[in-house]
Amino acid sequence: MSSSSKAMTPKNKAPKSAHKTSDGSNSSHTDSNSNFKEPYVNTNTKKLNTSNLTMKPLNKQQRAALASETVTQIKHNCKVDAAKLKKHSDPSALPASTKLAARLNCGFGQQRSVAALNTAFDITAGGYNVFAVGANGLGKRTFITQYLCNKSHKQALLKDWIYCYNFSSPSSPLAIALKPGTATKLASELIHIWQQLTLALRQLDSIQHDKHSQTKDREDLAQQINSTAEQTLAPYFLELFEAYNSNPKLLGYLKLLQQDLISNAQLVLQATDLRFTPTHNQQIPDRYNINIISSVGSKPSSEYDLKQTQHHTPDGAPIIFEPNPSHSNLLGKINQTLQAGCTLSNHMMIQPGALHKANGGFLIIEASHISEYPEAWHGLKLALRTAKLSPVEVSHNTALGDNLLTPEPIPLENKVILLGESELYDQYAEQDGEFLSLFKIRADFHEEVVRSTDNEIEMVAKMADIIAKYKLKHFDSSAQATVLEFLSLLSEDQNKLSLHIDSLIQVMLEADRLATRDNADLVSYLQAKQALKDISYRSSYLKELYLQEITDGQQLISTSGSAIGQINALTIIDYADSEFGMPALLTAVVQHSIGSGDILDIERDVELGGSLHAKGMLIMNSYLRALFSPYHPLNFTASLAFEQSYAHIDGDSATLAEACALLSALAEVPISQALGITGSMNQLGRVQAVGGINSKVSGFFDACSHQGLTGNQGVILPYANISQLMLRDDIIEAVNANQFHIYGVKSLSEALTILADMPVDTTNKKGRYHKASLFGKIIKNLKKWEEQLNPPEELDEPQPADEPASKETKASRRDE
C-alpha cells in the first residue's frame, strides 16, 4: 500500500440524530438479578415456542434444538424483506413530461423561512435584518431572490442619490436625494447647460476679437462675458427650478451652481484653470458635474457591476448580491489623484458600494465571504447601527496633502440578508455582541421535505423551473421518478426528499447531456440513471483502490468464516470530496485475571479517536459492567482497536460492533465474519440509528462481491434505520436471490445472536443465564479466571469420586 493510499482510513460517522430511538419497544429478556432488560422483540412476528420449558427438564439434545429454534426465529424476525430496501416513485402519478408540470410554488419546502422573511421585511424598525441558515447547496440565494422578485415591497423608499460639489465647503460634498430615475436626467441636463454656456462664450469671444482688430477696445469684456453667461443660463435654470421645485436641497444647490457659473464665466472661457476644464473623459468639469451614487432602474455601468447579481421587486426595489464583500465593494471608497506631489480628490471620485446600490431594497451577502474581511464586517455593522453610509478615503497619506473628503452621509434604508450554515451563525452569535441586535431574524432553511405525492409533484415543478433556467430538455415521467428516488437517497430517508438544489441541478444537467448525445426528444429513465452512475463512477476512484487492497490482501478484511474477538465494523471513509462506506476490521483482546473490567481504547490513547467515539466506548463499558458485575467481579483488562487505521476516527456508530467483538472475546465464542455491522448503542443495550446507512451497506456489499458472494453475507443495522434504506438495485437483486441479507436489530442481544449463531441471554427458571448461552459462558469464564488467579484450597478429606451427587446438585444441573 502506498503512503497516499494509507490515508484512506475508516472514520465512523456520527449518527444522524443523537437521540433517535425506535418506537414500540417491548422487553423480551429480563435478568431477575439486575436492572437490565433486553428491550426489543419484533411484535409483528410469531413468538418463540417455550411452552415445553415448564414441563420437564430438557436433555442436551432438546436444549440444542431449542437453542437452534431461538436463533432461527430471531434471524427470521430481524431479517428485512427486499421490498423494504427502497421506496420507488410511481411514474404514473407524475406528469408525462415536465413541460406539463404545475407552476412552482415559490415557498415550496421552506414555509418556515418564508414566515421569517415576511416578518423581517414587514417591519421597518432597525435591526430586522436576516440571517438565512442552511447547508450549502440548498439554493438559499436563488430562493430568496425569487421570493423577493414576487413580493411587493410596500415599505420601499426608492430614491436616486447623488453627490455634488459643495460651494461653501469643497471638502464636504453634498448628498442629495432625487425622485426615482431622475438622477441620469439631471446629469444630462447639466451637461447640456454647460455645452450651451461654453458655446455662447466662444461666440462672444470671436465677436470681441473682430471688434478688437477694428477698435482695439476691450475694457468692457469681463462685464459682457458675465452678462452673456447670465442671459444664456437663465432660461435653462428656470426650467430646472420648475422641474425640481419640490426638492429644496436640490434647488439650493442649483442656485449656487448658477451663481458660480456666472461669476467664473471668464475662467470658463479662458480654459486655463483645471477646476473649470473638463478632463479627457468628461464632458463637463467635475466642479459642475454630479456623481450618481444610486439610481433606480439603472443598468450596470461597469464590468464589476456585471458580476453583481441585480434584480428588482415588482415595486422596483433593488435586489443586489455582492459576491466579494470587501470594505470598498460593500461601503464604497473615495479615489485619489496625484497632482504636483499632492493627493487630490473630489466628489466625482466617490465610488459607491453595494450598500449604496441596494439602498431602499435588499442586499444579499454570503456570511462566509464577509468573514474574510473584518474591516468590511465592522463597516457593515456601523452602517446598520447608525443607518448611514459614509465612504472613506482609500488611504490617508497626509504627507502628500491634506485634501481629504468627508462626504455627507447618505441615510441607509435597506435590508441586509446574510447566508450561511448554522455553525457560522452560532459563531457570530457567540463571538459578536452586536450580531443578534442587528440580525434579529433567523430564517432556517429545511434540507428535506416529506415525500408525499403532492410534494413529489411540487419537486417536478422545481425540475421544470430548472429546465427553463438552463434551457434543458424536458424529463419524462420515468426520468422524474429516477430523480425523485435519488433525492430520497440524498436525504437518507425513504419518506423524505432532499432539497439540495445544487445536486439536483447537477444530475439534470448531466442527464440532459446524455439525452442530447442520444438525439432524444425527452430525458428518459435511461439517461437519468446513467447520469447518476457517471457521477458515482467519477467519485469512486478511492473506493476502488480500497476494494482492490482488500482483494489483494493488503487490507485484512475477511467476509467469510468466523473468528473470536474480531468483527467487520461498517464505517464511512471521508477523504477530501470523496465519501464512501467500507468495512474496517475491529479487534478485541482480553487479558484475563488482570484488572477490574478496564477497557483500553487504543484510538483514543493515541489521539486518533474523537470525543463521540470515546463516548460510545464509555457507554459500552458502562453497559457491560452493569450487565455482569452482579454475577461476578470483572477480573479482566481488554483493548479495542480499528486495525490498519491511521487517521482520525469519530462518531459512535461502531459502539454496537465494539460491544459484540468484546463479548465474543470474553465468551471465547467465534462470531461471523460474513456479516458487517453498524449501530450506536445506549447504556441499556438498545440499538440506535446511525448516519450514512446506505453508503455503509453498499460498501460492505461491494467488499463481499470482490471476495465472492457466498449466500451467508449481509449487514446488521439498527431497526430504526430500515426506513432510511434506499439501496442500489444490484443489492436488492442479491437480497431477493438470498445471496445477501439485511438484518434490522433493536437490541445488542439480537445482533449478537445473529453473529454468534447461538442464544445470548436465555435464562433458566431462577433467572440465571444458561451456561450454554453466550452470557452464561462469559460468567463461567469470569469464575474460571478468578479460580486461576486464586485457586481454592485443597480439602483434607476429598470426597470419593464415586459418591453420588446430592439432590441439590442434581436440581441445579437440571436448571441449566
Show which of 295, 323, 340 is a domain's final residue.
295
Q: How many CA atoms lie within 13 A of 274 on its CB side?
A: 6
- Does residue 595 share a domain with residue 734? yes
164-168, 226-230, 668-672: least confident range: 226-230
Please write the tens of the pLDDT for every residue from 423-480. Answer: 999 999 999 999 999 999 999 999 999 999 999 999 999 999 999 999 999 999 999 9
Catalytic residue among 696, 746, 747, 773: 696
**540 assigned to some structural domain:** no
pLDDT cut 70: percent of the chain above it: 84
Contact 136, 341 (CB under 8 A): no
Cα 135–137–143 angle (5° rounding)? 95
Higher pLDDT, 593 or 422: 422
- Does residue 309 share a domain with residue 279? no
* The pLDDT of residue 794: 52
φ/ψ of 24, rounded to 5, equals 65, 40
**531 assigned to some structural domain:** no
**278 assigned to some structural domain:** yes
Higher pLDDT, 54 or 119: 119
412-426, 488-502, 647-661: least confident range: 647-661
How confident is the model over 641-648, as a mean pLDDT? 81
- Whole-number Å distance between alpha carbons of 566 and 586: 6
φ/ψ of 128, rounded to 5, equals -90, 55
- Does residue 596 share a domain with residue 466? no
Residue type for 320, please? Answer: I
Across 146-150, 262-266, 438-442, which has the greatest mean pLDDT? 438-442
**688 assigned to some structural domain:** yes
Show which of 251, 270, 295 is a domain's final residue.
295
* The pLDDT of residue 206: 67
* The pLDDT of residue 807: 44
The residues, ordered by sequence, that sit 6+ positions from 301 with a Cβ below 8 Å of its Cβ are none
Confidence band for 569, pLDDT divided at 50, 70 and 90: very high
The residues, ordered by sequence, that sit 6+ positions from 782 with a Cβ below 8 Å of its Cβ are 628, 631, 632, 633, 634, 635, 636, 666
How confident is the model over 193-215, as a mean pLDDT? 72
Cα 319–323–324 angle (5° rounding)? 130
- Does residue 173 share a domain with residue 136? no
Confidence band for 191, pLDDT divided at 50, 70 and 90: very high
- Return the CATH number at 777: 3.30.230.10
Higher pLDDT, 105 or 509: 509
**539 assigned to some structural domain:** no
pLDDT cut 90: percent of the chain above it: 61
* The pLDDT of residue 684: 92
Confidence band for 29, pLDDT divided at 50, 70 and 90: very low
- Does residue 469 share a domain with residue 398? no
* The pLDDT of residue 4: 36
- Return the CATH number at 315: 3.40.50.300
Return the number of other C-beta atoms located less than 10 Å from residue 468's C-beta.
13
Show which of 240, 267, 295 is a domain's final residue.
295
653 is annotated as an active-site residue: yes
Grid cell locating 751: 445482533
Helices (H), 271-326: 303-307
- Return the CATH number at 464: 1.10.8.60
Higher pLDDT, 35 or 93: 93
Say yes or no to pLDDT of 126 above 50. yes
* The pLDDT of residue 56: 63
- Does residue 753 share a domain with residue 717? yes
Residue type for 673, please? Answer: Q
Closest Cα to residue 654, out of 633, 632, 669, 676? 676
**117 assigned to some structural domain:** yes
Q: What is the pTM of this model?
A: 0.80
Higher pLDDT, 272 or 313: 313
Helices 693-707 & 729-736, crossing angle to 10 degrees? 60
Higher pLDDT, 509 or 796: 509
Say yes or no to pLDDT of 134 above 80. yes
114-118, 402-406, 763-767: least confident range: 402-406
**515 assigned to some structural domain:** yes
- Does residue 355 share a domain with residue 390? yes
Helices (H), 332-410: 354-357, 367-370, 374-386
Which structural domain range is residue 235 located in? 159-295
766 is annotated as an active-site residue: no
Our count of domains for the chain comes to 4
Average pLDDT over the chain reads 85
Higher pLDDT, 550 or 29: 550
How confident is the model over 339-366, as a mean pLDDT? 89
Higher pLDDT, 613 or 422: 422
- Does residue 220 share a domain with residue 320? no
- Does residue 283 share a domain with residue 344? no
Pairing of strands 714-718, 741-745: parallel
* The pLDDT of residue 520: 97
Its sign, for the CA torsion 403, 406, 407, 412, is positive
Say yes or no to pLDDT of 49 above 60. no
Catalytic residue among 653, 672, 695, 698: 653
Please write the tens of the pLDDT for every residue from 795-807. Answer: 454 454 444 444 4
- Whole-number Å distance between alpha carbons of 347 and 331: 16
* The pLDDT of residue 40: 39
Please write the tens of the pLDDT for every residue from 7-28. Answer: 334 444 443 333 333 333 333 3
Say yes or no to pLDDT of 307 above 80. no
**Sheet strands (E) in 437-553:** 441-444, 448-450, 496-498
Say yes or no to pLDDT of 517 above 60. yes
**92 assigned to some structural domain:** no
Confidence band for 596, pLDDT divided at 50, 70 and 90: confident
- Does residue 576 share a domain with residue 719? yes
Say yes or no to pLDDT of 396 above 60. no
Grid cell locating 174: 453634498
146-155, 202-211, 282-291, 740-749: least confident range: 202-211
Q: Which residues pair with 497 in a beta bridge?
A: 449
- Does residue 260 share a domain with residue 315? no
What is the DSSP secondary structure assignment for residue 311, as one 8-state letter? E
* The pLDDT of residue 53: 46
Please write the tens of the pLDDT for every residue from 150-161. Answer: 886 655 578 999
- Does residue 585 share a domain with residue 643? yes
Helices 477-491 & 525-538, crossing angle to 10 degrees? 30
- Under DSSP, is residue 41 helix (H, G, I), strand (E, B) or coil? coil
How confident is the model over 78-104, as a mean pLDDT? 96
76-80, 398-402, 484-488: least confident range: 398-402
How confident is the model over 136-153, as a mean pLDDT? 88
Confidence band for 241, pLDDT divided at 50, 70 and 90: very high
Contact 782, 628 (CB under 8 A): yes
Please write the tens of the pLDDT for every residue from 671-729. Answer: 999 999 999 999 999 999 999 999 999 999 999 999 999 999 999 999 999 999 999 99
* The pLDDT of residue 34: 40
Q: How many CA atoms lie within 13 A of 531 on its CB side?
A: 27
